[in-house]
Amino acid sequence: MKEGIQLDLFAGILFTPEQEQKIAEFIKIREDIANTNESINKQREQLLINNGFIKDVDFVNTFKIETVTNEMTIGYTYNKTDFKAEITYKTIDGGIFLKGKRFGTYSNPNELINSTFNIDFEEDKVNCSTIQDNYRYIKPATLLEKLNSFNRRQKQLFEEYKRKNSLKQNIVDKYTKKEKIK
């Protein structure tokens, strides 16, 4: 029998006390990470709200903590203390995204679509390079102004596109009717 691993009569693996401790530490670390990220997420959401953003209008918060079960490798390969175990632990998913409009995307070139944009935080400053066209961190209230301006511009581009295409279609229709009359 390999040292450090004991086989159970029911074909499962029984872990040594050291392995059990490593599994417990892994679970605790993942829970601490999830809780820390949840706290940070709440602070960031509040920062946006305090600066005039409206949840589900200007931004969406999809952050959630999930409990998952996966086979994980615990320990270190170099000193041959690693082992595999099926572990149930907490993990995070999602985050905060700005909501906006976008016209002329690759997949929808002639439509105005609802879209989300990544937002980065650095202390009490934010950055959304899609909205800002740069990577500077700015005050959240300034970003909100830029988001509103960006959305207005996207709507203007769409209306301009519709107007131009409508004009083209009117000309085509006009000459098509003349051809039919002759």
By the 8 A CB rule, do 83 and 21 touch?
A: no
C-alpha–C-alpha distance, residues 58 and 147, integer Å? 8
What is the reported pLDDT for 181?
62
Tell me the domain boundaries of the chain.
5-52+66-94, 99-181
C-alpha–C-alpha distance, residues 140 and 129, integer Å? 13
By the 8 A CB rule, do 72 and 26 touch?
A: yes
Average pLDDT of span 140-144: 98
Q: Helix, strand or coil for residue 25?
A: helix
Closest listed residue to residue 112, CA positions, set 103, 120, 121: 103
What is the reported pLDDT for 108?
75
What is the reported pLDDT for 120?
97
Tens-digit pLDDT profile for residues 9-42: 444 568 899 999 999 999 999 999 999 999 999 9
Residues above pLDDT 90, as percent of the chain: 69
Average pLDDT of span 86-91: 96
Tens-digit pLDDT profile for residues 93-132: 999 999 999 998 777 788 999 999 999 999 999 999 999 9
What is the reported pLDDT for 65?
98
What is the reported pLDDT for 4?
53
What is the reported pLDDT for 1?
43
Q: How far is CA 71 from CA 27, 68, 92, 137, in A?
A: 13, 10, 17, 40
Q: From the CB of residue 150, how many other CB atoms can be counted at a distance below 10 Å?
A: 21
